[in-house]
Structure 1
Amino acid sequence: MQSLLERWDQDEHPDLHGVVVRVNGAVVAERHYHGADPQALHDIRSAGKSITSLLVGAARDRGLLGALDEQLERYWPRARGSALGRASLAALLTMRSGLAANDQEPDSPGNEDRMDAASDPVAFLLGIPAVDRPGTRYVYNSLTAYAVGLLLEHTMGKSLLAFAREALFEPLGIQRVDWASDAAGHTKGQGNLSLTTGDLARIGQALLDGGQWQGRRILSSSWIKTSMQALVPIGPVDPYADSYGYFWYTKTHQLKRGTETVRFASGNGGNKLYLVPSRRMVVAITSRAYGHGYGQRRSEAILKALLSA
């Protein structure tokens, strides 16, 4: 596998940052491209949404969040009276909030760029109207993950980054991490989390091991299974996934020797955390191809090459 990774170390891939492959708990291949520092923090963009999902599980493990089908306003009083407050936590986690928020449409009222430009992002969020009944239609957007991050901050009484350090990063031995905040100082639960490629793979290993790291329980295995279920078919609108769970994707790949089902986190530019349970394999890919579709195609090609090796 190590030699396979070398094929991507070419001039036409200057923005590929790093790949780390773990099998049966051990790193079996690792490559950092074009002089990239293995210890450099890298922005995994929207793959951070999947980390926010893990933190929902951590809050539930602590008994601080109840039924996922309850409306958000029950857990976060500030959302009462808003379209957002009427959506359930499950609807938010599956991108089915019903809100007028679509990151693929620049003119959408809840487009991520508009939210980022708002001087008061929370007020912006609470002012977005509904266009569908919550839970009925998948529309990719970052606004819902931001809302889940705010809910966690309210529930835990601390920033999302502080809770992430306590519940996830420090138990995994991850010391160096950065998670961007918005104009109001709230951690951006929708993305802009920066980790090393190796630490991203370390998170994947803990998930493959049912929420444990070196014998220590970090997350409940039940939440990992629940969050990674194939809940919403999205193949018609996403060429890289068949279905969506709670901020996690699923894709079954057709290979020469059969099929392989992969669960994964995904971020702009080709940033990926792939989990292949049947092979006990984790593939972490970091890439700087932000805003370029080829980054996603390249990461999928790397995964399929590894699966076919």
Structure 2
Amino acid sequence: MKHYLLILSIILTTACKTFAQAGNIIEPEPITSALQKANMGKVVFEADTIPLEKLQQTDLLTGYEANAANNLYMRLLLANSLTNYQYSLQPSASVEQLNQGNFQFAFYVDGRQIYQENLHKGANLPIIKNTKTTIFVPFISNRGEDSWGRFLWGRFMNHGGDEALTAGKHQLKIEVRPYVTTPDLRVGELIAQGEIKFTVPAIDPKDAQLQPIKPGSGWQVSKESFDTKKIMEMNALIAGNRFKQITSVVVIKNGKLLIEEYFNGSARDSLHNPRSVGKTFASAMMGIAIHDGYIKSVNQTLKEFYDLKKFSNYSPQKDNVTLKSLLTMSSVFDADDNKSDSPGNEENMYPTDDWVKFTLGLKTDNSKAAGKQWNYFTAGVVVLGDIINKSVPDGLDKYSANKLFKPLGISNYRWQYTPQNVPNTAGGLQMRSLDYAKFGQLYKNAGVWNGKQVLPQSWVKDSFTKHLSLPKDVVGEGYYGYLFWNKTYKVNNKAYETYYCSGNGGNKIFIFTDQPLVVIITAEAYNTPYAHSQVDKMMRDYILPAVLQ
């Protein structure tokens, strides 16, 4: 019997190889791994990054427990390269045309399909599509890899995975197929599949309990009621790592502290790094500097502050770049942080020894209409900070301390600095959650704090103006003010508009326009696909339903 099975295995393997290699459009890499040969056509799961040549059958996971310490990696073990599988779907297509397609992934939980996606063509380089027969990516990882795998997993979780993978034991199954787009969309037969037992631990009830507001917060404590069950449900999801890397949630209602919750080792006195939330502080300081007469108006242009001809790529267009266009991210510089290949992408700025010189030396984009097209432009906010710094007495550091932080009673904060030792208005202004709440409440109070007009009321109004529509393909619905974002949440078929500061990782300061609410969420989910979407879910499904009247 064993002899018969051995012969049958050899026949099947040979047939599989023959079928895989027949009619190829491109030569795939040779399959030399014994483990790959033994698991051809499978999706396998691993807990660590082990090279294929060292991978043993015992390294493949049969089960996974979802907690913050455990990683989950996926490996496709294929009989051929993706491009050759696609070629069998569309033999008349060229390699370049086939590369416009990719893998289709289907996720099943307990036998029910939850999510299906045709992976974007940009996931995987052409050389990988053309030649690789094994592909290894993280799904769940605490190492922070920049990978399409983590983003794919995030989309699965956001589109039903969270609801399907409840506390308890589940069977997770993944099916993989090739797809092409030329001349039309076609999806091929199954080329890999795999299953794993997926366990979601139950939450310890004590981890979901509301945290009592301790004395010494600096806020009056609200006596208003709210739906404690909803907040406990949210706390349980944070404790269970369903909402990941959340560090605090603070809710101010009618100017009083209603909810104060800390997670993942954070506490009241923790200084958080909310990344680009700090940009909005630059907007506030610009408003104060204009009110004090150190800067004339938002209509001033760069040529009034710099000799632009001394910088690279001079163009008369630069002369007319206004402060307003930098505040609304609508200048004509050739820059877009949402495009990795953009010359003005912020990642190109940080390694340089002079960030202002980098920014002012960028080319202009003739396709942009000044003040009309929104593109996220971190480097432009650095220039705003430099302009404030050189315009106000004693520089931005001392000016912000005296004009903003001291009036708000904020003493425990930490700026980051540019190479020229100017406060970094690109982001990273670290504070306590309760102090971010003061900043949000200042705007909610139309610039007034403890009876004093700290921020001009007119500046708050201009900041909370829909100057530009946000591109739907980048950020979805919404508008942009003076370094403020705008969006509307819908809860129980009612709309609730908010202006908010936003930073990498899911950090937010929400100020609601028609409700007496300021909400702070801090998080450390930096560079993850779920950072902002999970905050939206927290707001829409838990926080707002709990505190709205």
Same fold at TM > 0.5: yes
Q: 1:35 Cα shift?
A: 2.7
1:80-104 CA distance string (max 9 Å, x none): 6645443011111111111111112
* Kept after mapping to 2: 8 A contact 1:250/1:261: yes
Query: 1:221 aligns to what?
Result: 457
> In 2, distance between residues paired with 1:80 and 1:226?
32
Shift of 1:70: 2.7
The aligned counterpart of 1:307 is 544
What secondary structure sits across from 2:382 in the alignment?
helix
1:266 aligns with 2:502: yes
TM-fit CA distance, 1:179: 1.1
Which residue of structure 2 aligns with residue 158 of structure 1?
A: 394
Q: Distance in 2 between matches of 1:149 and 1:90?
A: 13
Alignment of 1:292 with 2:521, yes or no, is: no
Q: Is 1:105 the equivalent of 2:339? A: yes
Pick which of 77-86 and 111-120 moved more.
77-86
The separation in 1 between residues aligned to 2:375 and 2:294, in whole angstroms, is 28
**Paired amino acid for 2:494:** G
Matched with 1:50 is 280
Q: Using structure 2 for the length normalisation, give the TM-score.
A: 0.54
2-structure distance, mates of 1:138, 1:9? 34
CA distance in 1, matches of 2:480, 2:244: 31
Is contact 1:174-1:199 (8 Å) kept? yes
Map of 2:363 onto structure 1: 129
Q: In the alignment, what sits opposite 2:22? A: none
* One-letter amino acid of the counterpart of residue 478, structure 2: D
Structure 1: unaligned runs, 5 residues or longer? none
Cα distance in 2 for partners of 1:147, 1:77 equals 10
Is 1:34 the counterpart of 2:271 in the alignment? no
**SS of structure 2 residue aligned to 1:7:** helix
What is the Cα deviation at residue 235 of structure 1? Answer: 4.4
Partners of 1:240 and 1:251 within 8 A in 2: no
Find the residue that maps to 2:238 and give its secondary structure. coil
Alignment of 1:1-309 (within 5 A): 1=226, 3=229, 4=231, 5-12=234-241, 13-74=243-304, 76-79=305-308, 82-83=314-315, 84-131=318-365, 132-239=368-475, 241-304=477-540, 305-309=542-546
CA–CA distance in structure 2, aligned partners of residues 237 and 69 of structure 1: 30
CA contact (8 A) 1:20 1:198 kept: yes
**By how many angstroms is 1:167 displaced?**
1.3
How many aligned residue pairs are there? 308
Q: Does structure 2 retain, via aligned residues, the 8 Å contact 1:270–1:287?
A: yes
In the alignment, the residues of structure 1 paired with residue 380 and residue 237 of structure 2 have an alpha-carbon distance, to the nearest angstrom, of: 35
Larger Rg: 2
Deviation of the 1:14 alpha carbon? 4.8
Runs in 1 of length 4+ with deviation above 6 angstroms?
Answer: none
Relative contact order (C-alpha < 8 Å, sep 6+): which is higher?
Answer: 1
**Which deviates further from its counterpart, 5-14 or 173-182?**
5-14
Deviates more, 1:56-65 or 1:81-90: 81-90
Tell me by how many angstroms 1:233 deviates. 0.5
CA distance in structure 2 between the partners assigned to 1:206 and 1:19 by the alignment: 18
Bigger CA drift: 152-161 or 280-289?
152-161
AA paired with 1:114? Answer: N
More divergent stretch after superposition (234-243 vs 88-97): 234-243
Question: 2:383 & 2:438 partners in 1: Cα distance?
Answer: 27
TM-score with structure 1 setting the length: 0.94
2:30 matched residue in structure 1: none
Contact kept in structure 2, 1:20 and 1:285, CA below 8 Å? yes
| Shift, 1:184, TM fit | 2.1
Q: Percent identity?
A: 27
Give CA deviations for 1:28-54 in whole Å, capped at 9, x if unaligned. 001000231211111111111111111
Q: Distance in 2 between matches of 1:264 and 1:10?
A: 26
Give the CA deviation at 1:136: 2.8
Amino acid at match of 2:327: L
How far is 1:296 from its partner? 0.6
Secondary structure of the corresponding residue to residue 427 of structure 2: coil
CA contact (8 A) 2:262 2:268 kept: yes
| Deviation sequence 1:149-178 (CA, Å, 0-9, x none) | 111011114333322211111110000111
SS at match of 1:45: coil
In 1, the alpha carbon distance for the partners of 2:383 and 2:488 equals 30
For the Cα contact (< 8 Å) 2:374–2:471, is it kept in 1? no
What SS is found at the alignment partner of 2:276? helix
When the two chains are superposed, the root-mean-square deviation of aligned CA atoms in Å is 1.8
Letter of the 2:302 partner, please give it. L
* Contact 2:397/2:422 (<8 A) preserved: no
Rate the CA distance shift 1:294–1:121 in 2: closer, same or farther, 3 A: same
CA distance in 2, matches of 1:250, 1:14: 24
Aligned-partner Cα distance in 2 for 1:91–1:71: 9
User: 2 CA distance for matches of 1:257 and 1:107?
Assistant: 40
